[in-house]
Structures are given as C-alpha cells and as structure tokens.
A and B are shown apart, each in its own frame.
Chain A
Amino acid sequence: MADAILEVFRGNQETGSAKQYTVPIAPGMVVLDALHYIQGHLEPDLAVRWNCKAGKCGSCSAEVNGRPRLTCKTRMDSLPTDKPITVYPMKSFPVIKDLVTDVSWNYRVNKKIPPFTPKPNTDWKMYQEDMDRVQEFRKCIECFLCQNVCHVVRDHHMKEQFGGPRFFVRVASLEMHPLDNVSRVKLLKNELGIGYCNITKCCTEVCPEEIHITDNAIIPLKERVVDEYYDPILKLVRKIRSAFKSD
C-alpha cells in the first residue's frame, strides 16, 4: 500500500519545529488516523486532542496544508500526495504541546453571556418554524475553527475586546430563542465587540457544521445593535409596538 508523508509540528510554547513521518495509507483514511498511527507506532508522546472521531465533538481542530480543519473529517485521499501533508496547531491559540493549544479564552468569553431566561409564566409551546433558525446555531460543536480564522483574533489579537464568531452564534441562539426574554445587545456592542467584525465570512467558510455564521447570526445581531444604539426612530416605533402588544 502507498505511504504518505506527514509533516507535523512538534514542540511547545517556547520552541518547536516540524518533523516528518511516513505513514501507510488505508482506504478512507483521515488525517486523524494518520496522527494516531504516529502515536501508536512511531512517537507515543505526540500530543493531539480528539474524542469522538466522528465530527461531533470538535476536539481535533488543526491546520492541514494551511487550512483549518477537523482532522477527523479530512480524508487523506482529498490531499495531494506529491508533497508532505503539513499538520500544524491552530495559529490563534497559544501552543501547549504539538497540536494541542490553549483554548481557555473561549471558555472565559462564554461565561460572560447571560443564560437562556424564559418569559415569566411561560407556556412551553414552540413551533418548528420558529425554531429552525435557532436549531441551526445549536449545531455548533465548539471546534473553535471560526475563532481561529477570524482576523480580529488571528491577525489583530483582540481577544480581550472581542467575543468571536462562535460566541456570536451562541448569542444568536439565545436572542432568537422563541421564549427568551433578556436582551444581550449591550453585551454584543461592548464586551463582545461585534462592531470589530467586518463580515469577511472566513468563519462561515471553515465551519464544519455548515452554519451560516455571518449571514444568519452575525448580520442580524449587528442589525439589532444598530437598531438599539443608532436608530432613534426605529427605537420609538418598537417601543410603541411593544406597548400595544402588552395590552
């Protein structure tokens, strides 16, 4: 059977370099299989995060031939074999070791988001047509590939001022929940810095769950921020409308 050459980053936060490994290819093999082969037969201390190996847990993110991917869903036969396949850790997060990065920033951002808060005396009826758009956001597996490719994080290192696409998706899932009753618009504008996003759609392109992050989550949320902060007439109209509704 044919062999593939993998060039894998080995190292830690201070130092590191790529190292080449020869791996036999099996039919249908994915990059994570090749990494497991290296662990199991060549270098048992190669650090890789993974769990389900089925595209459901979002643990095995890395940059394969320069493209951010889930290694469990990247088929070896989809990659050119005439040169080594490069596997590097996600660039936007500090390296711990080899392909494992420190993603704790994401968990800190998540903590800032007020949880689902139902309306008082909620009647728990919801209709599928009202939920379809929210269920799209709930597909997120937190692989953090969208966070990794976002320019605001990757090139401008603005982690402290910015929430990132993953958490815009999460806020969208709460804001558009048919029975949620709190506003996270101020949070979006201030702590999560949604204004820094200039909708280049890099996040949407890498999403393994094919969530339309920019079109369905970020742009509607940006509109809510604009309505709330920059459009006094709309604001007035909304107030009048809601006053009528509550009667």
Chain B
Amino acid sequence: MTNPAKYETHEHDVLIIGAGGAGLRAAIEALAAGAHVAVVSKSLLGKAHTVMAEGGIAAAMANVDKADSWRTHFRDTMRGGKMMNNWRMAQLHAQESPDRVRELEQWGALFDRTSDGDILQRAFGGHTFKRLCHVGDRTGLEMIRTLQDRGVQMGFDVFMECTVICLLTDGNRVVGAFGYWREQGRFVVLKAKSVVIATGGIGKAWPITSNSWECTGDGMALAYEAGADLLDMEFVQFHPTGMVWPPGVQGLLVTEAVRGEGGILRNKNGERFMEKYDPKRMELSTRDLVARSIYTEVKEGRGTEHGGAYLDISHKPAEYVKKKLPSMYHQFKELADVDITKGPMEVGPTCHYMMGGIRVEAETAASSLPGLFAAGEAAAGLHGANRLGGNSLSDLVVFGRRAGQAAAAFAAKASPSTINNAQIAEAERAMLAPFDRGEGENPYSVHRDLQKVMQNLVGIFRTADDLSNALGELEKLKQRAARVRVEGSRLFNPGWHLSRDLQCMLTVSEAVARSAQARKESRGAHSRIDYPKLDDQLWGKQHNVITREGDSMKLTQVPVDPVPDGLKELVAEEK
C-alpha cells in the first residue's frame, strides 16, 4: 500500500501548472487576491514557449490608427475564427486587452514607441487596424520577463523542472497534482484547493512545428484523464511561414511581422500568388488562408527549391529591417546563410498553435470540473476555428488574470478535501513501468512515428480516409507506447521523460483526429478535401466535445452559443 508520508508534499491554495504567460499572469492575480500560490514548470523559469512569441500583442489601444476600438477587434477575432469562437470570450478579450498591455508597461515592460511617446502598433493578418503592440520581434521575451520578475517579487513558490503526471481528484473535484522532479526523478505531491492549467499547446505531435519540446499537450491530457471536456480539438493552426531549409531548422517560426512590415510572398516564377487567393488582404490575410495558399502553390509545382515559397522584405531599407526584425535577421544569417536585407527567405507552413483545448467558462476560465481552471493555449474558445496573430499574447494576460482571480476565489471558499492514495500509487506504478521492462522499444522511435502519422494524415488538408487511417495508426502507436523501455537511471533522463510526454501526445492526437473526422466541412484551420465548403446550417452551429468514458474517447456535439443582439451587428458581413 502507498504510504503518503513517503512523498515530498507541498500544500498551496492555488496550484498553477505551466509558467508561460498565462500561468504567470494567473499566479500574479491569485497572489494579489491573497492566495498562497505555487507555479510548476517543466523547464527553468523564463524559458516557456511564450519567449518564442515574436510579432506582438493585439490590443485596440488606437495609438496608431485612431479609428480602432474593442468593437473592431471583437469583429476581427470572430470573423477570423469563422464564428466558432465563444463570443463572450472574444468580447472580454477585445475589451480588456488594452488594460492588460498598460499593466505590463507599468510592471516594467518596454514596448516600441510612436513619435508621441505612446506604445507603437503594427499591422498583422486579419486585423483591420494597426493593433499589435510590440518590441521589435521579441515581444514574448519582454512579456515573460516582465511577468516573471513581477511574480518573483510578489512571492510565489516556483517548482522548476517538475512534470505533473496526474491531477488528484476527490470525487470529481480537482484537489492537487502528482508529479516528479525532472532532475532527480523523485515524486512529489502538490495539494491545492484549486488548480489552473496553463500548459500551452500540442505542436510536438507533428515533426514540422514551431513548438518547443514542452508542447506535448500535457494539460489537455491531464484534464481529459480527470474527466474534463475538451472542445474544438480539430482546429490546429499551421502557421504559413516556418523555415524550410536547412533541415535542422525546418518548422522554425518566421514571424508574421515580416509580412506586417511589408514582406511579399512569391512563388518560384516570381508571381505574387496571394493576388489569386485573397486580392484584398494579400499577404495579411488570415493564417489559415495564407498557409493553404503556400501549400497549394508548392503542391501544384510552383514551390521553391526546398518546397516552400519566397518571402521577401529586402525592398525595405536594410537598417529598418535590422531594427524591426532583429531576430529574423540573425536567425536567417546564422542558421541558413541568408541575408534577409538582400534576398528572400524560403518559407512553408509549420504546426504552430492549438485553437481547441479544455472547455472553459468565459468569465472565470472554469473547466467542467470543480476546482480546475484553464487559460492560454491549453484552453479553448477564444479563437474559434482560426487564431489571428497577436491574439495569443493578449489571450494569455486577459484569461490568465481571470483564471487566477477565479481560482483564488474558489480556494477561499473550498471545503477540506482528501487525497486519493490509490490514484497516486497507480500513477507511480505506470511512470516507473518502463524501467522494469526487460525489453521494449525506445520512446524516441515511437515519437518519430507518431509525428509521421500526424504530419501525413492529420495535416493542413484532411480526408475521411486519411483520418480513419490515422486513428488506426494511433491505436497501434498506443500499444507500442505502452511497451516502451527506458534505459539508465531516474536522474535527469530525457528518454524516461519522453515516455510520459508520449502518452499525452497520443491522447491529444486521438482527440484531434476524432474531432477532425466528425467535422464534415472546411472551416478556418480545418480543411477537408472531401468537404471543401463551409456548412453553416449544421457544423456552423455546433462544436465537437471530447470526454473520457472509461478507457475510450467519447465524441459529442454541443450547440454554438449564438452571438446576442447588439454584438451580432458588429460581426455581420458587409454587403
């Protein structure tokens, strides 16, 4: 029997899983409400995937384009998301993001300025006005450093390099988490009155991705295992511009700010092909459309040498490019031997962002389980079927704050709970099993095969046959993952760590494939070759929801909450 005393145990009011923008913003808010807060992070503090965000944070501050307002931001977000968005989240997001940006500035963030001394804003795809507050092309770094320093000074406990492997439940209420220290491989019990999941995305299930090793869908898988609903899992964003050459950097993000600053896309014949696909918005069309356009150009034989498109900013003065896009300049120079002030970059689609995720309430970020909240990329709803660039950083701070607030309020009223020792014992057994197998596969080879399946069968364009093959393959991969063997000790052992992350990736991959199979239409980032049109009558009115039923995945549909009068007029198509 498990003796709970044998585990290192910590107790907090609010436990936050994930130390990116959403997790840190949630922690700051919970601290401000007087809660005792812990943040758990798979990496070192300040290294979360938020540092990779480049182009900016969308907020209708109207510093550059005076006509901007939350109403236009709301409309752009809803229309960019093909009306699959939770309208209330889109409204709150558009209304609150300017205050969240000002707050970052008051905590020490230094955004680029207008000549009047205000925060400068740049153009981005799908945004009617110049709306993205930015710091060159390293906005995410500025944001995470600001939030990190604020949180550290306010006094949260940080558990770095610690991975959560299950949520602890008392009945259906979430009362903490069980995990292990990556460094020593020791287990740890984290008791809490409420838990916020802010673990980010799932990109590592694909080989060509802009995401870091951490983005393995942990939070979504943990919530699913505990019984929470996952929403809109078919909507996976492929960013139109990732690097395509050399092979080692394939998928690495090329910020949309290149196009925001005037970058032009051409095929190998020198044609500015966006004229064909979206003559009005051209390069600054929405990401789903630009990604499909590049993909189509390549597929039809008009791709570049390494299977991409050319993206050119070299018509702008070299000093301007270096000032506004410094990390792009260095990235191409150092990794691809290309000087972007002199010639074009080669780019192609890369798996970038998960619009779907844990189903939450708009106001509180509460999941379908009591005591469990979710914010940022791990949560679904704000972005609908396609996210606009710049709306992710604002999502993190708007809903991170709301999640922290609600989690602290829940904790303040929470009744005592009990830890289920059997649950801990089972999680420990499963985690250690790969060491005990005399023989078995290396988790890395199962991961590589999973990535192949997702890339080839659950990519930008999908078909019924591919998706059903994918589900068959995923079933086999699950069997293989259950038999992997890990060598070495528990001391900082990446192979062992991957054996666990693999389980999460398989869970979310299956959820993506099942939802994609069900949605028989093309909408936003979900493109079906066999159903190329929008189906507003049926699928425009319903979301896919994934829940766990015993050991199998259950798929149901719930209606889309209609946009109420007063807001409906804002999103109506102009005639």
Contact = CB atoms under 8 A, between A and B. Distances in A.
Contact of A28 (B102, B183, B335): B335
Contact of A115 (B43, B110, B136, B153): B153
A57 interface: yes
A232 interface: no
B106 A118 contact: yes
A41 interface: yes
Interface in A12-45: 12, 26-30, 33, 39-41, 43-45
Given A29-B248, A115-B108, A127-B113, A57 B212 contact: yes
Interface stretch (B80-88, B281-289, B483-491, B549-557): B483-491
A50 B108 CA distance: 27
A40 B212 CA distance: 16
B138 interface: yes
Contact of B52 (A41, A57, A73): A57
A4 interface: no
A47 B183 CA distance: 10
A177 B149 contact: no
Interface in A124-145: 124-128, 131, 134-135, 138-139, 141-142
B152 interface: yes
B246 A46 contact: no
Give the interface SS of chain A, mostly helix, strand, loop or mixed.
loop
A44 B442 contact: yes
Given A28-B249, A55-B331, A124-B105, A49 B491 contact: no
A56 B247 contact: no
A73 B491 contact: no
Interface stretch (A103-111, A157-165, A194-202, A218-226): A103-111
Contacts of B491: 12, 47, 96-97
A51 to B, nearest CB: 4
Contacts of A44: 442-444, 486-488, 493-495, 498
Contacts of A153: none
Interface in B40-67: 43-49, 51-52
Contacts of A58: 47
A107 B136 CA distance: 26
Question: Could you say which of A29, A142, A180 has the most chain B C-beta atoms within 10 Å of its C-beta?
Answer: A142
Contacts of A46: 494
A47 B497 CA distance: 11
A115 to B, nearest CB: 5
Question: Could you say which of A45, A55, A107, A180 has the most chain B C-beta atoms within 10 Å of its C-beta?
Answer: A45
Interface in B107-166: 107-108, 110, 112-113, 115-118, 135-136, 138, 141-142, 145, 149-150, 152-153
Contact of A56 (B45, B52, B245, B442): B52
B331 A39 contact: no
A54 interface: yes
B112 to A, nearest CB: 7
A103 B152 CA distance: 16
Contacts of B249: 28, 53-54
A142 B336 CA distance: 24
Nearest to B183: A96
Contacts of A48: 494
B253 A27 contact: no
Contacts of B489: 45
Contact of A59 (B47, B245, B335, B444): B47
A141 B495 CA distance: 27
B150 A56 contact: no
B521 interface: no
Contacts of B442: 40, 44
A51 B47 contact: yes
A141 B51 contact: yes
A100 interface: yes
Question: Could you say which of B48, B110, B214 has the most chain A C-beta atoms within 10 Å of its C-beta?
Answer: B110
Nearest to B442: A44
Interface string B244-282: 011111001100000000000000000000000000000
Contact of A138 (B48, B49, B145, B448): B145
A175 interface: no
Nearest to A39: B494
A97 B246 contact: no
B304 interface: no
Nearest to A59: B47
B33 to A, nearest CB: 19
A98 interface: yes
Contacts of A118: 106
B541 interface: no
A54 B44 contact: no
B574 interface: no
B327 interface: yes
A2 interface: no
A28 B245 contact: yes
B149 A33 contact: no
Given A28-B246, A54-B252, A107-B45, A47 B492 contact: yes
A124 B107 CA distance: 12
A212 to B, nearest CB: 15
A73 B332 CA distance: 11
A96 B108 contact: no
A30 B334 CA distance: 10
Nearest to B146: A116
B478 interface: no
A106 B537 CA distance: 57
Given A30-B248, A51-B213, A142-B46, A128 B113 contact: yes
A128 B119 CA distance: 10
B496 interface: yes
Given A45-B496, A48-B494, A49-B44, A39 B51 contact: no
Contact of A125 (B108, B117, B443, B486): B117
Contacts of B138: 56, 139
18 contacts: A27-B247, A28-B335, A28-B336, A39-B494, A41-B444, A45-B486, A45-B493, A45-B495, A46-B494, A49-B44, A51-B51, A54-B331, A97-B183, A97-B491, A131-B113, A135-B136, A138-B110, A138-B142
Interface of A: 12, 26-30, 33, 39-41, 43-59, 73, 75, 96-98, 100, 103, 107, 110-111, 115-116, 118, 122, 124-128, 131, 134-135, 138-139, 141-142, 174, 177, 180
